[in-house]
Amino acid sequence: MRIAVVGTGYVGLVAGVCFADSGHSVVCVDVDEEKIRQLRQGKSPIYEPGLEELLEKNIGAERLGFSTDLAPAVKASEVVFIAVGTPQGDDGNADLRVAMAVAHQIADAAERYTVLVNKSTVPVGTAARMQAEIASSAKVEIDVVSNPEFLKEGAAIDDFLRPDRIVIGSASDRARAIMAELYSPFVRTESPIYFMDPRSAELTKYAANAMLATRISFMNEVAMLCERVGADVDSVRKAMGADERIGQKFLFPGCGYGGSCFPKDVKALIASARSHGLDFTLLSAVDAVNDRQKRLLAQKAKAHFGPGGVRGKRFGVWGLAFKPKTDDLRQAPAVALIEELLAEGGIVSAHDPVAMENARRVFGDRVSFAQSPYSAAEGADALFLATEWNEFRQPDFARIKGAMRQPVLFDGRNIWNPKKLRDLGFTYYGVGRGA
């Protein structure tokens, strides 16, 4: 099958590469000429494990190409995916201007029956709006389909190739048959394809992310209570998760969630509910808890050092990306932490295995970037763990203590052993570890 993918961000690039790897002929389109030049050379503009290897493989096999010219790509394709950004607007709703503009361009260019697939995260009703708007300009029949993505950054390739489920929203039997054929290589292990109407598919994406965000914020609230009563949240979450109705996933408290999906999708669902006369009180609380949680480590530091005690202090920060195995800093808790430390007059040295280039664009020369985690701890009055990269889990704490000016640790992900560290002479602060 011949496929065009418009947009080469996380979603579009992963989708294009994985469809090509299953044998389809794919062209990815983007307006960014430098990005397209880089992709043609087999260089990925984003860090995602396994992506660059598949990129080079499928370019070499001539199944995958890149272009800045949308019209020829559409004319040659049976299925066209829209995977452009839908950033959060001032009112919390997703901004659809780019997605709608691309849909009109696709309708103008199409010369055969085409399935137009929304892969971008869009509000409920977008497929219907898009179908109605392009009907007047399209020269051929076009069916608009909703096909939300459920990719985790850092595991996106595996999620695409071995999905938990595939959601397809369409009122057209013809479009459904084409989408079923397109995804057939990825569901051979009996992963389900859920066919539904487009509105249900659009809502499924928001509802899934909102539920996961709710679990995280709930555990962060439990962690705050644990600190007040002297309980250990790690013990609480393990016993909770043993209940098969609850499960262990997304029950880890910490310094907040970030990334391109959870924060934006929670706010978008709140805004969408409001536009339909519903006050989504629960999700508003989830969002508020997460905003508070991002300030937690800085508040603990201010409490430890006392009034004005942060000013002039040196701080090491381990982890800048919002999660491991990505270089994405969007809504990252580490960014909120560092901004608050800087605002209070602190001096920050930071290290991340892959995200420092992106961090330099955010902080400029306000932060020094260390080439190793131990360099970031050198001369520090406190060390913050903000992202739970594997290489941070079992460091040489004796070396760290010897390098620091004051042996104070703020573990924003609860990955270190409090008793061991206190026995080594560290002052340790975790999240919800009051016992």
As a whole number of angstroms, the distance between CA 261 and CA 175 comes to 27
Angle between helices 198-229 and 262-275 (to 10 degrees): 110
**Residue 253 DSSP SS3:** coil
Burial of 34 by CB count in 10 Å (0-12 exposed, 13-18 middle, 19+ buried)?
exposed
How do the residues of the chain divide into helix, strand and coil, expressed in percent and rounded to 5? 45, 15, 40
DSSP string computed for 380-427 = -SEEEE-S--GGGSS--HHHHHHH-SS-EEEETT--S-HHHHHHTT-E
Q: Which residue among 28, 226, 255, 261 is the active-site one? A: 261
CB distance 117 to 82 below 8 Å: yes
Instruction: Give residues with Cβ within 8 angstroms of 94, minimum separation 6.
Output: 86, 87, 88, 121, 122, 123, 264, 268
**Residue 298 DSSP SS3:** helix
What is the radius of gyration, based on Cα positions, of the chain?
24
Burial of 401 by CB count in 10 Å (0-12 exposed, 13-18 middle, 19+ buried)?
middle
Does 261 participate in catalysis according to the annotation?
yes
Cα separation of the two ends of the chain: 59
Enumerate the active-site residues: 261
